[in-house]
Amino acid sequence: MSEHPFRDNTVLAHDAQTLDGAAQPTTLSIAPLVFVAPLAAICYPFLLMLFHAVVGAPGATLGAVDTAGATFVLLLSFAAPVLGIAVACRKALPTALRRLAYFSVVAPTLYVFLGVVQTLLGSPIPDPWVWCLIWLAAILIAMRASRTEPRPQAAPSLGKWRVAHGVSAMILCLYVFFHLGNHLTGLVGPSAHAAVMDVGQTVYRASVVEPVLVAAFLFQIVSGLYLTWRWSAARQDFFRTFQIASGAYLSLFILGHMNSVFIYARWYLGIPTDWNFATGAPTGLIHDAWNIRLLPHYALGVFFVLGHLVAGLRVVLNAHGADRRVVTRLWMIGVVASGLIAAAILAGMSGVRI
Ligand code: HEM
């Protein structure tokens, strides 16, 4: 092996390191394929622009070919998270490039966060420019870090963090299930959504409840990011990788979402955070050049929060000695159901009614 880790396209890394075990150095080859996820993330805003060019402004009528093309482009916009998870699972990968893959998973929610922050700052620089700079910097930093990767230390136990994160999640589930149930009523119509939200607000926006809720979500973000950082140091199996990736997405989603609700809408714009705010009225989610970014952001927010809970349940059931095949089947049913619920909520927000 050459002295320089990257010479001859090989690198000394510690793929076999486990969180609670000692590192075992291995020789890894870096295939250009590991960069597909961040490259898909760079393309993300341009895919949304292409989608907008096809569907046009509100009132535009679409033919079958346009509809098929727009659907295809929208599905392509989910490539960064999908490829991010696929790459993060790879065996031969230095930690920094694995973390870059996890970072690609958060692209759809990061782009919403960026847009809101840009508006709050009154930035004259277009979002796609800033976006490309962020990703080029992330790729360069990751490549540099992977060349000088230090020998990893055996990690201390994460037991207490995991228990605290899980207990806090169980409490927050009360709010999340209500919140998602509330958004499902959008399939009936905006007035059903408003009626349910009015009832819920008497509880979760009460002066003693709301600060506790926000503090608990902030704890969830911090503990989630810490666990993500630690787990992402080494390769994990597909199920664990999905759990880490969904957790990473949620950390940024919740942070950006609270920023949009509390700072941007209620404080900066002084508008109610109701159905119109959520659906980007009057133009809506589909036909507005800015709002279309909310569609993958919300869809993955719902999918990942439910999928993350399903992943946590799998760990608990396995730890209690449940039949592994039954647990895997439950996981698959849970993930498919999460996808269907996300699709149903977004359909309602896009105007579908039952
Ligand atoms: C389709 C997806 C979602 C949409 C459209 C949405 C929309 C909204 C809206 C409109 C509010 C303001 C509610 C109010 O004024 O009473 C809100 C608040 C909030 N949402 Fe969501 N949300 C979604 C998913 C999620 C998810 C998945 C989470 C958590 C993982 C979440 C966490 C929160 C939190 C913490 C608040 C602040 C609650 C408060 O007012 O105290 N949301 N969301």
For 128-172, how does the pLDDT look when each residue is reduced to its tens digit (9 = 90+)? 999 999 999 999 999 999 988 766 555 557 889 999 999 999 999
Ligand 1 site-directed mutation target among 199, 210, 257, most atoms within 8 Å of CB: 257
Instruction: Work out the angle at residue 159's Cα, subtended by the Cα atoms of residues 155 and 165, and round it to the nearest 5 degrees.
Output: 115
- Percent of the chain past pLDDT 90, that is, above it, reads 85
Average pLDDT of the segment spanning 233-257: 97
Please determine, for residue 98, whether its predicted confidence score (pLDDT) is greater than 80. Answer: yes
Please determine, for residue 9, whether its predicted confidence score (pLDDT) is greater than 50. Answer: no
Strands 26-29 and 10-13: antiparallel
Measured in angstroms, how far is the CA atom of residue 147 from the centroid of ligand 1? Answer: 41
Please determine, for residue 344, whether its predicted confidence score (pLDDT) is greater than 70. Answer: yes
Measured in angstroms, how far is the CA atom of residue 3 from the centroid of ligand 1? Answer: 52
CB 48 within 8 A of CB 77: yes
Average pLDDT of the segment spanning 225-245: 96
What pLDDT score was predicted for residue 22? 41
H, E, C per residue of 319-345? HCCCCHHHHHHHHHHHHHHHHHHHHHH
Q: Which amino acid is at 111?
A: Y
Atom 15 in ligand 1: residue holding the nearest Cα: 273
Average pLDDT of the segment spanning 89-107: 94
Q: What is the mean pLDDT of the chain?
A: 91
Give the pocket of ligand 1 (CB within 6 Å): 176, 179, 183, 197, 201, 204-205, 210, 213, 217, 250, 254, 257-258, 261, 273, 277-278, 298, 301-302, 305, 345
What pLDDT score was predicted for residue 152? 59
What pLDDT score was predicted for residue 330? 98
Average pLDDT of the segment spanning 286-307: 98
Write out the DSSP string of 247-270. Answer: HHHHHHHHHHHHIIIIIIIIIII-
CB 48 within 8 A of CB 292: yes
Measured in angstroms, how far is the CA atom of residue 257 from the centroid of ligand 1? Answer: 7
